[in-house]
Structure 1
Amino acid sequence: MLGELYDAHAHRGDAADGTARLPYHDLWVEPAAGNALVTSVRDGSAAADAGIVARDTIIGVDGIPAAARAAASMPRCLSHPDPAATAFTLNIAVAGRRGQPRRITLRSAKGGKRAVFLPLKITPRLPDVESRLLQDGYGYIVIRSFSDQAVVDAFDAALLRFREAPGLIIDVRQNGGGDTAVARPIMGRFIAKEKPYARMRRRDGDHLSQLWTEIVDPRGPFTYTAPVVVITTRWSASMAEGFPMGMRGIGRASIVGTPMMRLGAGVFPLHLDRTGIQLQYSAEPVYDVHDRARSLLEPDVLVSPTDDALAAGIRTLDMKRKASS
């Protein structure tokens, strides 16, 4: 039933090993002549370690053609073909199975066919917040999660170090999301008065509720007023999409990077009392302050997945400083 929605935000919370992984595990692919064209590879993943790069074409997974694996996951109730469903199921196909390694057959962007083995990889747990001063004098803060209130304190401590910095880069490229209650106070450090940052609706049966507006309140011992850039990637997901959208909405940041994961709604949990299945579903579609769906969010400065987004962020800050001088 969840597969009929082809929504990466709608999934079981208790899925077992051997079941399909969520799409966008470590590869982002698009349909290409019945195969899967790689457009982005997650940094530090088994796929990146194996040398898979953008513009490679995945032909098969575990000895099965990619298109055939995708077909097995296609929604069954579509009244007409939907390219979004085709792309979604291809991404399920290349993600493989939970708890299992994968063998990928691909045609290289440079020519030639090869097979690569992708073992299970446990990524080392990194701090939710890290920061450093860049050579240009700009502050650089990485936020890897919005799931813990301690993130707010860690961000505040980093911002205090960079209080006099002429610009700030906030990096949410490896951030899988979290809670509005964590992201909103961080946004509050950049404004001196209350501002709207998003609009929302709630799903109610076969229709949507009226829009309401979400507000950010100013917060902290000081307001950081220098230019800000938020850098993103395909693996900036959920609240890590809402945060850059909100920072742009309050007029305090430019978004630099690739399009994000396109998870366009807040989620609610659901417990099926007869089976005990735990799941979540997209309950509250999110829009920017101009009523554009978050799922359609695009960066202000688009960066190729193979280019250096941090360098592009620094260039953007340089231009902002020059424009304001």
Structure 2
Amino acid sequence: MHALKPRRAESGVHPWSSWATKIASALLFVAAALPAAHAQQQAWPAQPLRLVVPYPPAGAADVAARVIGQRLAARLGQPVVVDNHPGAVGTIGASLVAKAPADGYTLLAATNPEITIVRHLRASLPYKPDDLVPLLRTAQVPIVLVTRGEDAQSAHLQQVLERAKRTPDKLSYATPGVGTPMHLMMESILQASGVRVHHIPYNGGSRAVADLIGGQVDMLAISLSTVMSHLQSGRLRALAVLQAERSALAPNVPSLREAGGVSAPKLPSVWFGWFAPAQTPLAVRARLAAELESIVREPEIKLALERGGLEASPLQPQPFARELRDESNFFAGVAKPFAER
């Protein structure tokens, strides 16, 4: 038998040659597209970045975001647009970023409540904390317990605690609100000290400062930056910084243990950090983390943060994530009495 031979088309062109031409063209197209796709990935950032701050302008979170964001823009060659979305203890802005495209162009300048606190106070949130991943802890702010400068009966924290033991629920302390770090830190201290002091929550810090000066409350737990001018003028007196060590921003104010011998568990710090949607490419996250850490370590940035009452305190993503887990566990216990039922 004769071997079968492929039939030629009438045109004289082998029928397989058209398929070969198509395949070759497709391969050439793919080969040409691969470098273009690779170049597109390497081009990040190719457009402005949006930095969502879940608190109002001019506050500590906003100051930290703008100081660092401005320098990041210069390094990346793209604008970093700060977008304030305050409300619901930071969860409105956090939800916006958690649901944004994970492309490295929408980031969150967060602090404690929306990451480690509110999850233990509310029955549900519009996002899961795991929807956001840490890029870098950038700064911390000292929290101080202050009283009126002329209040001789409360010149020292030990005196305050002794008064509270003699007269339970007669003394009062203010904070910027229920569920804020200041509130839960104070509750932890009071529980460890075995005293009862009445909590008066405010919507923010400015009105609380005015009422403390006016004598409507006895003490106030607040960020150092909020009351610095009043401490310098003598209208207010700092009883302690609510942390284990003294703060470099207020070296003359004793630590919690120095001030009153309080054996409270280790309190978390009030921090500021940058976060991204969880599925953001690892290469983009690594680039952002490296740039942010380098920026925060610059002497000029440290000074700019200090002027805003903040301490530069860079912490890389993995240790920051471990710190957040420990902090969440701490707040889970302290927040139970205030959680939604």
Report the TM-score when normalising by structure 1.
Answer: 0.27
Higher helix fraction (1 or 2): 2
Higher strand fraction (1 or 2): 1
Larger Rg: 1 or 2? 2
Report the TM-score when normalising by structure 2.
Answer: 0.26
Q: Which has the higher contact order (CA 8 A, sep 6+)?
A: 2
